[in-house]
Amino acid sequence: MNKKEEYTKLFESFLSRFLVILLGFGMIINVMMPDHKESARENRSLQMFPSITWSSIVDGSFAKDVDEWFSDQLIGRDQFIYVRYLMQKFTGQTEINDIYLTSKGLIEKVKEPNTEELERNIKAINDLYTRTGVTTLFMLAPNSATVNKDKLPWFSEGLDQESMITEVFNSLEDGIIPIDVTTTLKKHKSEYLYYKSDHHWTSLAAFYALMEASSDLGLGGIKEENYNIYPVTTSFRGTLAQSVGSLGYSDQINIYVPKEEPDYLFINEGEGSKGPSVYSSKALEGSDKYSVFMGGNTSLCRLEMNNKSKKHLLVIKDSYANCLVPMLIPYYRTITVVDPRYYYEDIRRVINADSITEILYLYNGNTFFQDRSLADMIESSLK
């Protein structure tokens, strides 16, 4: 064993003992302190101390909930996560929680497909197309690990997401238009296409994707000079940084506002609100700054434009679509946006009620390959 390995082992041994002492001390303090309901840093609800019942003890759920409670309510949890991140990075780790630590930022690994759900989703998309006959397009965006493969640690063995995307496109019903943006994004991979601290693509990447899709969408030539580009924050710290505890990365969020943007009304049915802007300035004051786009994810929202377009678009999507949808405003009379993770109603009723002329599916690979909600929504509508 060389000197470096010896020092590493000694440091890891010290770290293990330090963490055990810290956890024990935290357990004692946690019992005495009130619980917190929310984590502003992680933008999620925290596990409260569970109720003690005989059934929960017998089925093991009480022990599981206590474990989650301790993990969520640990005193100094945010500082602990950050210290752990620094120690792991100091010892040479290049991957934490399926997130690569690279010189260009944090990059999420390509996720393993849920084969059963993937087959259901593709069948549901095909069935909805054959049953409605509405012009349908499918954009499946690659994740950063696919576009920035050369930035990953040299020993990493990631899945071939590009081939997985091609297989999905090949499985679509004839007539459904696949929109391949992987090649386009790879041509621009030296640019700011993905946030350093978050799993989303940037507005620039979404704009390049829209340029690729514009012909299939029948939008004509789309150029950067058609938009005013405004930076709305330079202090965005996304989910990847929150997950590993990194404080070293922050990102700039830009919005692309069409220069010839008509007056419009943004109706967020999921939140029960309406207003003249698709952007949420309030989101920039909180930790989830990506929610500046459309106020974040919601079940259903609509954009109603004051123009002469006869095109009515339905976007079925995950959060990658949120920064792209506002770029489409000048080209449609209405845009209806549905997130199947939160929408449980009849999607065919929406298609008919909103006079939909085109359906665009827009997902990122990691979400789509593990999604459990899309097929549920469509299948329930086709019964």
Band of residue 1 on the pLDDT scale cut at 50, 70, 90: low
Band of residue 169 on the pLDDT scale cut at 50, 70, 90: very high
- Reported as a single tens digit per residue, the pLDDT across 277-312 is 999 999 999 889 999 999 999 999 999 999 999 999
Tokens representing 161? 């997401």
pLDDT recorded at residue 48: 66
Q: Pick 104 or 113 by higher pLDDT.
A: 113
Q: Which residue in 295, 296, 289, 297 sits closest to 232, CA to CA?
A: 289
Band of residue 95 on the pLDDT scale cut at 50, 70, 90: confident
pLDDT recorded at residue 302: 98
Those residues with Cβ within 8 angstroms of residue 215's Cβ, 6 or more apart along the chain or in another chain: none
Q: Which residue in 201, 305, 188 sits closest to 254, CA to CA?
A: 201
Is pLDDT at 248 greater than 70 in this prediction?
A: yes
Q: Span 351-355, mean pLDDT?
A: 97
User: Following CA atoms 93, 97, 102, 107 in sequence, which dihedral angle do they give, to the nearest 10 degrees?
Assistant: 170
Q: Span 250-265, mean pLDDT?
A: 96
- 319: amino acid identity, one letter: S
Dist. CA 52–CA 270, nearest whole Å: 35
Q: 169 with 138: CB under 8 angstroms?
A: yes
Q: 282 with 268: CB under 8 angstroms?
A: no
pLDDT recorded at residue 93: 75
Q: Which residue in 131, 33, 44 sits closest to 76, CA to CA?
A: 33
Is pLDDT at 34 greater than 50 in this prediction?
A: yes
Mean pLDDT (the chain, rounded): 87
Those residues with Cβ within 8 angstroms of residue 224's Cβ, 6 or more apart along the chain or in another chain: 207
Exposed e or buried b for every residue in 219-253, given b needs 16+ CB within 10 A?
A: beebeeeebeeeebbeebbbbbbbbbbbeebbbeb
Band of residue 149 on the pLDDT scale cut at 50, 70, 90: very high
Q: Span 223-248, mean pLDDT?
A: 91
Q: What is the pTM of this model?
A: 0.81
Q: Pick 158 or 308 by higher pLDDT.
A: 308
Band of residue 54 on the pLDDT scale cut at 50, 70, 90: confident
**What are the beta bridge partners of residue 253?**
233
Distances from the Cα of 155 to the Cαs of 104, 105, 152, in angstroms?
A: 17, 17, 8
Q: What is the number of other CB atoms lying within 10 angstroms of the CB of residue 214? A: 17
Exposed e or buried b for every residue in 161-174, given b needs 16+ CB within 10 A?
A: bbebbeebeebbee
Is pLDDT at 103 greater than 90 in this prediction?
A: no
pLDDT recorded at residue 41: 47
Find the range with the poorest average confidence among 53-67, 152-166, 230-244. Answer: 53-67
Dist. CA 188–CA 147, nearest whole Å: 9
Q: Span 191-218, mean pLDDT?
A: 97
- 231: amino acid identity, one letter: P
Band of residue 171 on the pLDDT scale cut at 50, 70, 90: very high
